[in-house]
Structure 1
Amino acid sequence: MTETLHSEIQIAAPQATVFAFLTDPDKILRWMGTSATIEPHPGGIYLLSMNDRQTARGQFTEVIPVHRLAYSFGWDGHDTVPPESGLIEIDLIEKDGGTLVRLTHSGLPDEKERANHAKGWAHYLRRMSIAAAGGDPGPDSMNG
């Protein structure tokens, strides 16, 4: 049986700004990764190099501008979470003058990987919330 993680964060920025921080490679690199190829349309590539050792790979399955993204996800060279083995769904909901980001990551193989990815998503969603609100999240402590 596979595992699913759920995470939410409120960001002090409009939906369009948050959407851009999830789909524009230059904006993504302000909060996560070292290089990105992102084609935000169904069938488009999701390729994000975290560092010299880890690259996430998948493809977009759903793109509804400023409201929703879904893409397959996994890691190059990773036996338990290979490319396109999981699904990430991100809903952007207008709330309290900002945007509620609701993330679901399904298809993780076990509790250990769910916990590892939950830690990573918590870290990166915090960094995105700072960057999308106009701040500087600083150097990435997980990207060493």
Structure 2
Amino acid sequence: MNRIETICPPDLSANPFRFTVERVMKAAPAVLYRAWTEQFDSWFATPGTLLMKAEVNAVFFWEVHNGENRYAHYGRFLRLEPEHLVELTWLTGATGTKGAETVVTVELVPEGSGTLLRLTHAGFVDQESRDGHEQAWPNVLAHLDEQMSQ
């Protein structure tokens, strides 16, 4: 496999807050890999807002709409290993990452007919931002599991 090097990897040294969550998913690794790289608007992004190309160094954008509120998400792919790993930057506003370029690493490990999904989110500027994301990701992953196993 040709490995493409990330242009300007993020420096997280000044933002030490991180966490890891795991969930055994019903879907196979290939299905989950596609969900993270091609189908974000089928489980996370508001449909019609996704601009994403599954390539290392490719920049992406999407929004999440909650009532009248719109939450923009920006990032770029850092590493892609089909059916095994997705690593991307994750940048949101004041109620999310507070403008910090954080890094989400999603590891996909086959487990029976499903997948052990291990998500590490690193680079938060403070405990508050980290804690909010640590509380939210299990619900997001449960929703992903439900959407991809239908």
Normalization by structure 1: what TM-score? 0.82
Mapped partners of 2:109, 2:139: distance in 1: 20
Equivalent of residue 76 in structure 2, options 49, 59, 66: 59
The aligned counterpart of 1:137 is: none
Query: What is the identity, as a one-letter code, of the residue corresponding to 2:62?
Result: L
Q: Secondary structure at the match of 1:36?
A: coil
Instruction: Say whether the 8 Å CA contact 2:96–2:129 is kept in structure 1.
Output: no
Unaligned runs of 5+ in 2: 1-14
The root-mean-square deviation of aligned C-alpha atoms, in Å, is 1.9
**1:79 offset after TM fit, Å?**
9.2
Q: Give the equivalent residue in structure 1 for 2:19.
A: 5
Is the 1:91–1:101 contact (alpha carbons within 8 Å) kept by the matching residues of 2?
yes
Letter in 1 for 2:90: F
Decide whether the 8 Å contact of 2:71 with 2:92 is kept in 1: yes
Letter of the 2:74 partner, please give it: R
Of 2-11 and 45-54, the range deviating more from structure 2:
45-54
Taking only the aligned residue pairs, the percentage that are identical comes to 20
Q: What residue is the counterpart of 2:62 in the other structure? A: 48
2:102 counterpart of 1:86? yes
Count of aligned pairs between the two proteins: 131
User: C-alpha displacement at 1:39, in angstroms?
Assistant: 1.4
**Structure 1: runs of 5 or more not aligned:** 135-144
Tell me, in whole angstroms, the C-alpha distance in 1 between the residues paired with 2:97 and 2:35. Answer: 28
* CA–CA distance in structure 1, aligned partners of residues 45 and 105 of structure 2: 19
Q: TM-score, normalised by structure 2?
A: 0.79
Q: Matched residue of 1:122: which SS?
A: helix
Distance in 1 of aligned mates of 2:98 and 2:119 = 18
Task: Kindly report structure 1 stretches of 4+ aligned residues shifted beyond 3 Å.
Answer: 76-80
